[in-house]
Amino acid sequence: MPRKQIELSNRVEYLNILDLEGNADAALDPKLDANELRKLFRAMLLARRYDERMLKLQRQGRIGTYGPALGQEAASLGPAYVLGKDDWMAPSFREPAGMLYRGWPMEKLILWWGGNETGSSTPTGVNDTPICVPVSSQCLYAAGIAWGCKLKGGKNVALGFVGDGGTSEGDFHEALNVAGAFQLPLVIVIQNNHWAISLPRQKQSAAQTLAQKAIAYGMNGLQVDGNDILAMVAATREAVEHARSGKGPMLIEAVTYRMGVHTTADDPKKYRTEEEVACWQPKDPLERFWKYLAKKKVMDEKAREALEAELAEQITAAVAKAEAYEPDITEPFRHSLAEMPPTLKEQFAEFQAYMDSSSRPDNGSAPSAHDPLMSRLH
């Protein structure tokens, strides 16, 4: 009886283009023109400054718990940059760089972190699902959309994000399994930031790479330097073209690092060392890309200063707009489904009758969660 090595038809590769000094591998460089490079830098810088401002807003009690994306801008922006307007994206909560680039108004993201339902309503003309926190659920959304794209017979592609911790969830494996079996036009990007809250990557999986999990589902995997925007663009471009041409799904593992807290509710000093964080400082995706642009003379310090000032004004205006927003207490009914089913319509009518009732015990203010009606609605 034979015992031999099985030849697998799929492969796993590693991709890096920019070194730490901003020098690009000429053979792998996606060769974006100056306007494209400036556009990418603007989007990365905007995401970085937005992230910094959101942390301050949280510390001032002006929004709720916040999950920073510091250090992961390239892993988010690269895939979003490659997608077409009619393609679909299912983000988690560390993709503000990609979401802002795709056309989400900043004030809408601020409202989401502030707990307003309108922050979950996708802007008209943007083919994205809203920020979704449940771990790995984005993979199923993206796979379902990809299946819909295939059934419609078009060339659209769906892309979903998941963290390294999410690859331990059933949703991740179910999405890849159905995508491989039905050859769906799906791209899944793993944001491997090395920590699933306080659990390190090596405790998530004994696999040498997370990209190699693609092999089990009959697709190619690509491990990419996730702090290298050129590599993320090149890798996603390859995966999207592969999916769009009918060749099926691909899995990308973006190796990056969460420089900040998991969320403002935790303290990473309790579970990781400052030495570990310091090792990742030279790999900062924004400054590496800046070195590349400076060497190519695409931008200079004066242009960066002008851009910083422009973005600061944009962020200030977005914060003001978000904080001026007056929420409608019926928003949870309006943003969940395109059309309310009869049961929800019934609840909505009951809720409106309650709000109009002169017998409300709270004398006209918003109902509390302890009210019997609110308990039923939840």
In order, the DSSP letters of 120-168 are: GSPPTT--BPPP--STTHHHHHHHHHHHHHHHHTS---EEEEEETGGGG
Is 258 marked active-site?
A: yes
Spatial distance between the Cα atoms of 102 and 122, rounded to a whole number of angstroms: 11
Residue by residue, DSSP assigns 339-375 as S--HHHHHHHHHHHHHHH-TT-TTTTSPPPTTSHHHH
| Listed residue (233, 201, 227, 223) closest to 283, CA to CA | 227
The answer to whether 54 and 93 are in contact (CB under 8 A) is no
Query: CA 369, CA 154: separation in Å to the nearest integer?
Result: 45
- Choice among 81, 258, 288, 292 that is catalytic: 258
Q: Are 112 and 120 in contact (CB under 8 A)?
A: yes
Active-site option among 48, 102, 262, 288: 262
Rounded-to-integer distance, Cα 92 and Cα 187, Å: 14
**Count of C-beta atoms within a 10 Å radius of residue 80:** 25
List, in order, residues 6 or more apart from 323 with CB less than 8 Å away.
Answer: 62
Catalytic pick among 271, 272, 288, 378: 271
Is 378 catalytic? The answer is: no
Q: Are 67 and 59 within 8 A, CB to CB? A: no
Tokens of 331: 């928003």
| Active-site amino acid positions | 258, 262, 271
